[in-house]
Structure formats: C-alpha cells, structure tokens
Structure 1
Amino acid sequence: MNVRPPLRLARASVFAAVCVLLTSAGHATASGEPLGPGSVLAGFAGVLAFAFVLAGQERSLPVITGGLLGGQFMLHALFTAADTGFGHHGNLPQLVAEPSGGGTGMAAAHLLAAWGSGWWLRRGERGAWRLARQAAKALLRPLLLVLSPPVEAVRHIAVAQDVVVPRAVVVLRHVLVLRGPPKGFRALGFG
C-alpha cells in the first residue's frame, strides 16, 4: 500500500520532529548552551527530506532505529559545527571524526535515544498502518457489493400435498443449509 503525499509528509514530519528534538535537546544539555534556530531549522529540513523519501511504505523497527541513529549522527555534526563555527575546526569530516566532548557517554546516549524513540515510532507506525488497512477494507467492502452482479433468485420447489414426508424431514423443514455464497457472487472471489 503506497502512501499519498499528504500522509507521507505527515509521517516524515513526525519522524523529523522526533529526531531533531531528541538531538537538539541532548546537544543543548551537553553543551550547556541553546542552539541557534537556523541550525535547528536546517537540520529539520534535511531530516524531513530524507524521511520523506523513505515514508512511502511501512518500515520495520531496525529501519526506523537506523534512520534515527543516522539522523542523530548528522544532526550532532551539524550542531557541533554550528556551535564551533565551520571555519574553526577545519572541514566537516574532521569535526565528525573528532566531536568536541561526549565520547562514549554521548554515543551511548544517542544509541539509547534512537532505540527508545525508534520503538515508540514503530508502535505508532504499526497502529497507523493497521487503521489504514481497516479503513480501506471498510470502504471497499460496500463498493464490492455494489459492483458485483445481481444474484439469481432462489427457486422454491413445490411438494405435492399427497406425498408422505418422513418425520425427520418434517423437523428439518425449516432449517437452512448454507454451504457457501450464492452462485455468481463475485465480491468474495466466487462465481
């Protein structure tokens, strides 16, 4: 099931917001200084573009968590570069290879944040797709019934009045035996 662009943009926006909020909150806490709105908006735009490309179908927990880790890594590099100034540390690859402060603790914080938020986003992803599938079924079922060809009328067989009917048949006379859909009922794939 492909997602139409408005829903795709909404899903990508949620992913980008979670990724940017986690990374910017962690970065501001670790550095002790607030981030500039320009770097936060630039990070959000970059993550949003990346997430929009991947938001075309349901994603698994490893893909979501991996995307969050990659996004946090790139946002960390962007925010660190914005804090120190792009010219002070040389080029961006050197800045990413040698981030200022943090080390193992920062990597562990990024892993924990990515895993926790990835798990949370995956639960929402699964619920949203389940609702979308149920809504599609609810909308398509009446449409299939309307579009299927009309069913032939059931013919009653008249029994002559002078025929002796055994007692067992008389008891079962009002029992309906339904062994499947009527002939020509194409809505369920029969006929």
Structure 2
Amino acid sequence: MNTRPPLRLARASVFAAVCVLLTSTGHATASGEPLGPGSVLAGFAGVLAVAFVLAGHERSLATITGGLLGGQFMLHTLFTAAATGFGHHGNLQQLVAEPAGGGTAMTAAHLLAALGSGWWLRRGERAAWKLARQTAKALLRPFRPVPSLPAETVRHVAVPSEVVRPRAVMVLRHVLVLRGPPKGLQVLGLG
C-alpha cells in the first residue's frame, strides 16, 4: 500500500521530529550549550526531505533504527559544526573524528536513543498501517461484489407415466367441443 503525499508528509514529520529532538537534546546536554535555531531547523528540513522519500510504505524495525542512526550521525555532525563554527575545523573528516562530549559515551548514547526510539516508532508504524488497512477495507466493503448464494432446489414430484389424465384436463378450456353431427343434417336424414 503506497501512501499519498499528505500521509507521507505526516509520517516523515513524526520521524524527523523524533530524530531531531533526540539528537539536539543529547547534543545540548553533552556539550552544555544550547543549539542555534537555524541549525535545528536545517537539520529538521534535511531529515524531513530524506524521510519523505522513504515514507512510501511500511518500514521494518531495522530500517527505522538504521534511519535514526544515520539521521543522528548527520545531525550530530551538523550541530557540532554549527556550535564550533564551520571554519574552525579543517574538514568534515576531522569534525567526525572528534565528537563533542566524548566519543564512546556519545556513540553509546546515540545507539541507545536510536534503539529505543526505533522500537517506539516501529510500534506506531505497525499500528498506523493496521488502522489504514482496516479503514480501507471498511470503506471498500460496499463496492465488493456480493457472492451469490446457492439457489434453493425445487423438488419436482415425479408423475408416474401410467397415470391416465382425464380428457377434460387435456382439452383447452376455450375450445367448444361438439359431439355428433350438426342438427341440420338430421332433418335431411343424413345424420
């Protein structure tokens, strides 16, 4: 079942909001500094664009969790670059190699956040798709053909062939039956 653009946008918005909220909260907590609204909005727009493309059908837990990990990695890189200034780090490779707030602790935090929120989003995903399938089934029910019921068999009573039917039954009702010769012929002596 493919989704229409408004439903895709709603699903992608929920995914992007969870991803950006987790990453920005974790990043601000680890660094001790608030993030600028411009970097948060840019991160939301980027994740929303990717999620919109991928929101065409139901996704598995592994796909959702992988998307969250990828989104958190990209957002972490964006937020770190925005907090330190893009020009102070030599390149993106150096920026990724020196995560703010400790490498192992930050990676573990991102991993746990992605697993927990991935599980939560998958449950919502499953419930939303189940509801969509049930709604579609209910809306299309009046348009499905009704299966024909087997016709009741009419029992015919067999009439034995040796039963003789009376002559009155065999003659049509509106036929005038005259027995004998016409009366005018009797007068002439022919009858």
Tell me, yes or no, whether TM beats 0.5.
yes
CA drift of 1:155 comes to: 5.4
Give the alignment's Cα RMSD to 1 decimal: 1.8
| Corresponding residue number in structure 2 for 1:33 | 33
Please list the CA deviations of residues 132-159 of structure 1 after superposition, one character each: whole Å capped at 9, or x if unmatched.
11111111121113xx597786454365
Q: Which moved more, 1:73-82 or 1:100-109?
A: 100-109
Unpaired segments ≥5 residues, structure 1: 161-191
Alignment TM-score, normalising by the size of structure 1: 0.77
2:106 — aligned with what? 106
Q: Give the partner amino acid of 1:60.
A: S
How far the C-alpha of 1:98 sits from its partner, in A, is 2.0
Instruction: Write out per-residue CA displacement over residues 106-128 of structure 1, whole angstroms, 9 at most, x where no aligned residue.
Output: 10000000000000000000000
Q: What is the CA-CA distance between 1:97 and the residue it aligns to?
A: 2.0
- Aligned residue number for residue 42 of structure 1: 42
Question: Does the CA contact (< 8 Å) of 2:31 and 2:100 recur in 1?
Answer: no
CA offset at residue 76 of structure 1?
0.3
Secondary structure class of the residue paired with 1:57: coil
How far, CA to CA, are the matches of 2:104 and 2:27 in structure 1?
15
State the match for 2:171 in structure 1: none
Sequence identity of aligned pairs in percent?
82
* Unaligned ranges ≥5, structure 2: 159-191
Q: Distance in 2 between matches of 1:115 and 1:150?
A: 51
Opposite residue 119 of structure 1, the aligned amino acid is W
Partner SS, residue 71 of structure 1: helix
- Structure 1 stretch displaced more, 149-158 or 114-123: 149-158
- Deviation (angstroms), 1:67: 0.2
Verify the 8 A CA contact 2:77 2:96 in the aligned structure 1.
Answer: yes
Moved more, 92-101 or 30-39: 92-101
Q: TM-score scaled by structure 2?
A: 0.77
Pairs aligned (count): 158
Measured after TM superposition, the shift of residue 96 of structure 1 is 1.1
Partner of 1:9: 9
- 1:175 aligned residue: none
Correspondence 1:1-191 to 2 at 5 A: 1-145=1-145, 154=152, 156-157=154-155
